[in-house]
Amino acid sequence: MKLAVYPGSFDPVTNGHLDIVKRGAQVFDHVVVAVLHNAQKKPLFSVEERKELIRQSTQGMTNVEVDSFDGLLIDYVHGLNANVIIRGLRAVSDFEYELQFASMMRKLDPEVETLFMMTNNQYSFLSSGIVKEVASGGGDVKGLVPEVVEKAMSEKYRR
């Protein structure tokens, strides 16, 4: 079975992320969307909230699973016996960081491949940070995030 891991903070998950998940699920037998717990960041949503939002957003994708991890990604990948890491690219500006990331993964384990997938052009400008900035200012994020995320963000920023 070809198992791929799609790691990220997903704070929040956007339609750009989901584009990568859907397309990854067409290429691989099983995709694990792995939410990173990064204690250095101050997320809008807890890890459990992010996992639940992703689960709700990927309902019906029978070969997609949602999980979380902390520590080194390569250790998590090894624990799953996966051999592919999916990384999404929006624009050329993402490439330098992602090249460094993939090179480090290759150094840590040459048997694990990093696969870059370009997001749909309609989401090439989209990031979780931009979505949070717009939503925190009362702007409309409809069409940028799944409806369940839109509602959850509305509740968070109402407080």
The model's pLDDT over 77-122, given as tens digits with 9 standing for 90+, comes to 999 999 999 999 987 777 888 899 999 999 999 999 999 999 888 8
Residue 4 CA to residue 97 CA, distance in Å, equals: 20
Is 96 part of a structural domain of the chain?
A: yes
**127 in a labelled binding site:** yes
The model's pLDDT over 43-64, given as tens digits with 9 standing for 90+, comes to 999 999 999 999 999 999 999 9
**138 in a labelled binding site:** no
What is the pLDDT of the chain when averaged over all its residues?
93
∠ CA(81), CA(82), CA(88), 5° rounding?
160
Active-site residue list: 17, 41, 90, 128
CATH code at position 60: 3.40.50.620
**99 in a labelled binding site:** no
Is 104 part of a structural domain of the chain?
A: yes
Is 42 part of a structural domain of the chain?
A: yes
User: For the residues 127-142, what does the mean pLDDT come to?
Assistant: 91
**Residue of 3, 149, 15, 148 lying closest to 82 (CA atoms):** 3
Q: Number of structural domains, the chain? A: 1
Looking at residue 82, its pLDDT comes to: 97
pLDDT above 80 for 25: yes
Is 146 part of a structural domain of the chain?
A: no
∠ CA(133), CA(97), CA(13), 5° rounding?
40
Is 151 part of a structural domain of the chain?
A: no
**90 in a labelled binding site:** yes
Residue 15 CA to residue 57 CA, distance in Å, equals: 9
Question: Which range of residues forms the domain containing residue 93?
Answer: 3-124
